[in-house]
Amino acid sequence: QVQLVESGGGLVQAGDSLRLSCKASGRTFSTYELGWFRQAPGKEREFVSGISESGRSTVVTNSVKGRFTISRDNAMSTMYLQMNSLKPEDTAVYYCAVKIGLGKVVDEMEYDSWGPGTQVTVSS
């Protein structure tokens, strides 16, 4: 089973950028669809972005469209989330996960092998 570990979070000011990484163990990384989710304090976990096995197909939620970009490097078994023009409402713990189901890409129930998360805090 693949294991995922996120990194790259931190405390930044509004308008700054961060790049999150999601490093996977195992040798089958290129066979997985992957996703980024986030959970803000007191809120449910929400979908942020997803990427196909090859990386050619991506989807992002409307609230981050134009600011966040998902990508992956299968040779490095790593997925990325480039976050630009960060806003205080982007403050959350960010998680990556493997999509194992055939359902909607935005549905967290379709995902498994969640990483422990990385904290992103954006000050105003």
What 8-state DSSP symbol labels residue 2? -
**Residue 56: burial class (beta carbons within 10 Å; 0-12, 13-18, 19+):** exposed
Helix (H, G, I), strand (E, B) or coil at 31: helix
- pLDDT score of 26: 77
Q: Which residues of the chain have pLDDT under 70?
A: none
d(CA 120, CA 96): 14
The tokens for 1 are 């089973």
- pLDDT score of 101: 87
Kind plus residue range of the DSSP H or E element containing 94: strand 92-99
**Residue 66: burial class (beta carbons within 10 Å; 0-12, 13-18, 19+):** exposed
* Alpha helices (runs of H) in the chain, residue ranges in sequence order: none
- pLDDT score of 99: 96
- Please state the separation of Cα 66 from the chain's center in Å: 15
